[in-house]
A = this chain, B = another copy of it.
């Protein structure tokens, strides 16, 4: 029998989860839940039904795990605890500073409902967190660095779009190659924000807009751009559509640590991702975590977990015996 999955929220991430479920024969999409009128939402899957999110409780006993695909800013802080009372859930909550608070709320709700929740699945938080953990646990006399990119930052793109005279914008976060090289050398350098990443912006402006003012407003914007070297390109709407319609991302976790009697040996551990589709990769992590959530719940585990608590083998459909034989 396959793991019966519901998707809550059908944007880029929800569509990515739908595609990932199709790649995993032990999972099955039962339903998509939306705040829109269900009849206006067209999905790819033939055998799943679209329901209004208010009707989610009708599916108790018919869905094993709900994968929550809303945003971290306003959706997940209330949706994940609310739904964890009735279903096992998986989300990709990624507001790093608020994870402890979110964990507490989801843990209480999941325990109340006797369900299992896995929060903050994705790549950062997610696979990058796991790699930071393995690295510092194995080489405690060391230092971890995280670089993001090259990839699209939705938050920074949105910030540019709010400037007067801007029609559309896409911002790429780019790791600085010399900083990557310095970290990979094992020298554990101290790096400022500006030394680690640069920001490249592609902007479509209104006709006749003051481009110099727009550029100045971008590069001096506090929090978003002021602490970085920022490059601004003005392009046409056609160029934007042709060259910048994807949502690629990626990044690097690099840890250099010393071993030996006097720390005389340096060892470098590196994990990196190069993703054509940020939401589809995150969706793929969510589906693997849904499998783990289902198993842990079946074993009687309840409450909130993160990917740091999941034995790696629980993410795979293969048996322990097969994994030992084939992958170890």
Contact = CB atoms under 8 A, between A and B. Distances in A.
Contacts of A23: 140-141, 259
Interface in A88-115: 96, 99-100, 103
A327 B283 CA distance: 21
A274 interface: yes
A133 B327 contact: yes
Contacts of A125: 328
B134 A312 contact: yes
Contacts of A120: 328
Interface in A262-310: 265-277, 280-281, 283-285, 288, 291, 306-310
B16 A259 contact: yes
Interface residues of A, number: 68
B259 A265 contact: no
Nearest to A130: B312
A173 B282 CA distance: 35
Contacts of A325: 99-100
A216 interface: no
A24 interface: yes
A324 interface: yes
A257 B273 CA distance: 11
Interface string A122-160: 000101011111101111110000000000000000000
A306 B328 contact: yes
A119 B43 CA distance: 46
B137 A288 contact: yes
A16 B264 CA distance: 12
Interface string A13-45: 000100110011000000000000000000010
Interface stretch (A47-55, A232-240, A315-323): A315-323
A242 interface: no
A266 B276 contact: yes
A323 B131 CA distance: 12
A323 B273 CA distance: 22
A320 to B, nearest CB: 7
Contact of A138 (B265, B267, B288, B327): B288
A323 B311 contact: no
Nearest to A258: B23
A129 to B, nearest CB: 5
Given A140-B24, A260-B280, A311 B313 contact: no
A20 B267 CA distance: 13
B274 A259 contact: no
Contact of A323 (B133, B257, B312, B321): B133
Contact of A324 (B103, B266, B270): B103
Interface string A219-251: 000000000000000000000000000000000
Interface of A: 16, 19-20, 23-24, 44, 96, 99-100, 103, 120, 125, 127, 129-134, 136-141, 184, 257, 259-261, 265-277, 280-281, 283-285, 288, 291, 306-313, 315-317, 320-321, 323-325, 327-328
Given A23-B140, A137-B288, A259-B284, 7 more contacts: A19-B259, A100-B325, A259-B276, A259-B277, A259-B281, A269-B271, A309-B313
